[in-house]
Amino acid sequence: MSSKRKPLQLAVLASGRGSNLQAILEAIREGKLSARVAVVISDNPEALALERARQQGLPALLVKPQAYSSKAAYEQKLVEICKSYQVELIVLAGYMRLLSSTFLKHFLNRVVNIHPALLPAFIGLNAQHQALEYGVRFSGCTVHFVDNGMDTGPILLQAVVPVCPHDTEDTLAARILVQEHRIYPLALELIAQGQVHLEGRRVWIEDWEKGSVNLWPGIVP
């Protein structure tokens, strides 16, 4: 998609490996995503995401919740950082904390998350394990806006993968991750192009309505 808009300013919050951060950075480099990662923030000193950001010359900040007197004080610090980098969209990419209204009220409908299951199934931690234990035949991933609940916000994109008979948590997670890396940059690009509109908890995508975005490659809806 070509764009005359200014690149969307992102803050990426990540607690771990940072492979989704990497996928986002690659999409930007390849011209598939009109955005700029203004800052990467982690709550975890061990997060590989911080290392990946530093390698790309990006501001990579460790903000330890333990250093603050309360969750509200910690989140207020996150707000200050995001505002100081003039961030327009907050991207949670394996960020393992729940954000409260202290943070969210400053970025209404401007926080997105990726979850490794087909929401509303299997919220919270260990979603791939939950899917295997439940015995579903399909799972996948969901990009959604973040509200005050746990993985409850309006759904932007989803991708489906089969659950195979001999799957372990790791093999299923790896299959889902391939799809995460595909749909997260796509979802961000749709937002960057101003094509995403919220109506209550339903999300409308302009070009999808016009038929020029294929959200389901290989599937005719």
- Provide, rounded to whole angstroms, the least separation between the CB of residue 220 and ligand GAR: 27
Residue with Cβ nearer ligand GAR (72 or 178): 178
Applying CB under 6 A, among 93, 119, 143, 163 the residue interacting with ligand GAR is 93
Q: How far apart are CA 62 and CA 160, in angstroms?
A: 33
Q: How far apart are CA 51 and CA 65, in angstroms?
A: 19
The answer to whether 18 contacts ligand GAR (rule: CB under 6 A) is yes
Q: How far apart are CA 153 and CA 148, in angstroms?
A: 8
Task: Give the H or E element holding residue 151.
Answer: none
Stretch that binds ligand GAR, among 12-20, 33-41, 56-64, 82-90 (CB under 6 A): 12-20
Nearest to 131 by CA among 153, 89, 90, 160: 160
Residue with Cβ nearer ligand GAR (87 or 119): 119
DSSP annotation of 200:
T
Q: Quick check: 15 and 42 in contact, CB under 8 A?
A: yes
The answer to whether 140 contacts ligand GAR (rule: CB under 6 A) is no
- Provide, rounded to whole angstroms, the least separation between the CB of residue 179 and ligand GAR: 10
Catalytic annotation, residues? 115
- Site of interaction with ligand GAR (CB under 6 A): 14, 16-20, 93-94, 114-116, 127, 177, 180
